[in-house]
Amino acid sequence: MNAPNTTITNEIKCSICRADIKHRKMYQTSLKLGVICRMCRQRFSDEDIEMIINMFFAFGGFFGALDRSKFSIEDTILEFAKNLDKEKVDFHSQNIRMWHKVLTHGITPKEFLKELSAFSEQEL
């Protein structure tokens, strides 16, 4: 047989955080792009799950793939605003990049929106 020498495992991975799913109880998204572990199911709303799955499917990565301690929400917001001012990219693509960056650093949408709200109130 002319196949690569790879090890096949029976472990199912969460489509959001890449944790092994060892329990029979799992959640499958409406788009059927993958399954979600119990922890991610509890952590994220249905809307968040769909957005996150779509984003990781399109751009790669997974929740918490990058070191959270090296991430600044304030810097990300300022970078977003600066790039929009310079008209480097349109709002939609800049917004997607920002969300991907946030999620790959392990920041939930709820956490990010809370910080964004606090930051915007502080700047007013």
Residue 30: pLDDT over 50: yes
Span 43-96, pLDDT tens digits: 999 899 989 988 998 899 999 999 999 889 889 888 888 877 776 667 888 888
Pick from 5, 22, 3, 4: nearest CA to 14: 22
Over its C-alpha atoms, the chain yields an Rg (Å, rounded) of 17
Is pLDDT larger for residue 53 or for residue 30?
53
pTM of the predicted protein model:
0.78
Span 7-18, pLDDT tens digits: 555 678 888 999
